Amino acid sequence: MSFTLEQFGVLSEKTLLFLFVLGKDGEIIASNSRCEILFPFDKNEIVGKYITDFMIDDDVSVFINSMSSLSDKTPLINKSFHFSSEKEGVLALKFDLTLHNNLVYATGIDTTKEYKEHKALLTISELTKTGAWYFNPRNDEMYWSKGCYLIKESDPSASITSKNGVSFYPEESSDQVKEYINRLIKDKKQYTCTEKIITEKGNEKWVKIVGQPIIYKNEVIYINGTMTDVTDRYNYIKKLKYSEETKQLALKGIQSGLFDYHVKEKEVFYSVDFKKMLGLPLDKDFVPEEEFIKMIHPDDVEKAIKRQQDNFNKKSKYYYNYYRIKHLNEGYRHYDIYGYIKKNKKGETIRMIGNLIDVHQKKINEKTIIESKNRLQAMVNNGFAYTVLLDTKGIILMTDEKSVKIIMRSYKIDPTKEKCRFIDVMPLNFKNSFAHEFNEALKGNTVKKEIERITHKGDLQWLEAKYTPILDHAKMVNSVLVSFHDITEQKLAEIAIKESHIKEQELNSLKSNILSNFSHEIRTPLNGIMTVSNLLLDEEKPEEREQLLIYLEESKNRLLDTINNLSNFSEIEAIKNNLNLKEYDINYTVETSYREYKHMAEAKKLVYQLELDHSCPQVRIDEDLFRSAVNNIIHNAIKYTNKGSITIRVSSKNSTNSKNNVYISVTDTGIGIDKENLKKIFDPFMQESFGLSRKYEGTGIGLSLSKRYIEILDGNIKVKSKVGKGTQFNIIIPKCQ
């Protein structure tokens, strides 16, 4: 039976439903009185308005799409829309939209309360990382809210079943979760559990699960539940529990005594265990200060009281002291005292809460370590030449006094007080091989290496470096001992043996040269004298006899020069002790030698030049000795120069050398000397070793004498030469000041 018009009119006006007749474009054709709450004007003004003008913006497009979807095939659609109201704020209405004769009949119910509760639930879910779920045990249907998907880091659009819901739990707890649900169904009681899950992204989380049964006729037909991410809380509780366990273990391991010191009353409260340990009376809560002081070691009392007063007088509220206390049956033990001071408004100390920490074993260990370190240091200081103990990073852990002095002198660092790497404070020539040897030692290999160094005094020192790995109880290298053994004497002995062998060979060669030279230099003039003498006996022509006498004179002079040179060479020590030193004008002395050999240079058609110093420098020399040295050098220059020039120069200005010297150079364009023989140029009797032919007559002793003469006069001779280009001798003599 259908509603009468009157019945329908009563229903439409007296209901809490919102009734609209709308055009397809949303124009309001008719509405009941209930709809007035949605609009800010009278009922008569509603008709002709568009309902979308009063919806919130996000719902307008949804409404238009819904109206477009209505058709003969789909004449009914159910949707929720939200309206802005001046009095109520946002109103949520759930509408049934029905299409009939091209008009839309809308029936709405107020769901504002449910909407607000839903929004609040979503907000709480996001803030507390909570999701809702339900499970129907009859058909195995499972539902997750968006919050559950977020917690498990999975796709919200994916379908969920009880099987893949349990799959997030580790194997060891998945059976436990199933057991929770079975127990809830059996016992019909709420259950709560906290379990670990592994999210789809592989992250580990802890979740709290709550399940609430829905019962119909004593059977669980539905389970509503929540899932909350409690990872942060679980980790915090775990850390808190660990910290508490650590604190309890620490308290058990500390041999200490808590005390409360009332300064003005001069009374101290001690824990019962500590009073037992010290033999203090147990029937008294507070112990007089005087009684406690009697237990401090007599040698420590005065200094302990002084430190206490200093602590009380300073501004800091923290207290520190130390002394020995007598125990009941153990004698005196060492204690460190730490406390917190309470002061009154005047800044006076009135109370101190503290702790006496037993450090007796620590003090004994420190003493043992110091004694052992002193013994070890004594061994280090009196063992090898140098000893350095390094950690695996090359940092110096210990070294001897001599090494400390060397490092301090070169780098201004004390490795016993300042942390430093050995490679940063070692001599440069050590660094080339250190890294390789050190790395080999870190591999467990013992390595030896010979090193040459120059001491700060300029002496040569040879060391044998030995890298020894030090192993810990696990047979792992934890440090490297680098010891340096002085092998200088051994190396010098080896070098001396080699040099003596070389010298022996040189002496044999020298002996051959001397004998060869003597044989030639003495026999040649003697043969000349004998031959000329025989010819003179038979020669009658005056002009021939005169020429023979000239030859005889030359042979005599040559023999005499050879004997004189040998004599001078053997009398060097006598010459040193009989010097006739006077001040001379060096220009005059050198010019005299220059003139003496001018005819010899002109005979060979050489350019013969002399350049004197205009300042006329004065030198203190033995003139005969100096001229002999210069003459030998000039004579050699002319002898070994066949064409070109000889230049003799005197100068007292030389920018690269000392201004306190005079420099005499003799430069020729002769045959020159190669590098190998240049080192031996001043050795006696060396002419033959130069490979010179006999057209350059001489013993080879002249340059050796020149060098010795100049050195006797506190001077020096230097030479530079190129084969085929010529030679330059430089004589350096101190100038008179």
Summarised one tens digit per residue, pLDDT across range 19-42 is 889 998 989 888 888 888 888 777
pLDDT at 726: 93
**Looking at residues 395-400, what average pLDDT do you find?**
84
pLDDT at 641: 93
Of 114, 140, 164, the last residue of a domain is: 114
Same domain? 560 vs 680: no
Residue 218 inside a domain? The answer is yes
Residue 240 inside a domain? The answer is no
Total number of domains in the chain: 6
Residue 71 inside a domain? The answer is yes
- Assign residue 394 the CATH number of its domain: 3.30.450.20
Asked if pLDDT for residue 8 goes beyond 80, the answer is no
Least confident segment among 191-205, 484-498, 577-591? 484-498
**Looking at residues 147-168, what average pLDDT do you find?**
80
Between 166 and 213, the higher pLDDT residue: 213
Contact indicator for 696, 622 with CB cutoff of 8 Å: no
- Tens digit of pLDDT for each residue in 631-670? 889 988 998 999 999 999 999 876 555 668 999 999 999 9
Domain with 510 in it: 492-565
What dihedral do alpha carbons 376, 382, 387, 391 form, nearest 10°? Answer: 0
Same domain? 609 vs 699: yes
pLDDT at 731: 93
Asked if pLDDT for residue 508 goes beyond 70, the answer is no
Of 486, 510, 544, the last residue of a domain is: 486
Same domain? 695 vs 586: yes
Contact indicator for 592, 627 with CB cutoff of 8 Å: yes
Same domain? 462 vs 388: yes
Going from the C-alpha of 493 to that of each of 143, 376, 436, 490, 496, the distances in angstroms are 97, 33, 29, 5, 5
Beta strands 607-611 and 645-651, pairing class: parallel
Same domain? 32 vs 108: yes
Of 444, 469, 486, the last residue of a domain is: 486
Q: What length is written for the chain?
A: 737
pLDDT at 285: 67
Same domain? 623 vs 504: no
Asked if pLDDT for residue 523 goes beyond 70, the answer is no
Percent of the chain with pLDDT over 70: 79
Same domain? 701 vs 580: yes
Same domain? 273 vs 380: no
User: Mean pLDDT over all residues of the chain?
Assistant: 78
Asked if pLDDT for residue 689 goes beyond 50, the answer is no
Residue 247 inside a domain? The answer is no
pLDDT at 650: 93
Predicted model pTM: 0.31
User: Which pair of structure tokens corresponds to residue 400?
Assistant: 């001897």
Contact indicator for 121, 46 with CB cutoff of 8 Å: no
Same domain? 588 vs 719: yes
**Looking at residues 401-413, what average pLDDT do you find?**
83
> E strands, 626-681, where?
645-651, 661-668
CA–CA dist 306, 294 (Å, integer)? 16
Burial class (CB within 10 angstroms; exposed 0-12, middle 13-18, buried 19+) of 463: buried
Helix (H, G, I), strand (E, B) or coil at 547: helix
Helix (H, G, I), strand (E, B) or coil at 485: strand
Asked if pLDDT for residue 568 goes beyond 70, the answer is no
Percent of the chain with pLDDT over 90: 10
- Tens digit of pLDDT for each residue in 112-153? 776 665 555 555 555 567 788 878 887 888 888 778 888 888
pLDDT at 729: 94
- Tens digit of pLDDT for each residue in 254-271? 445 677 888 888 888 777
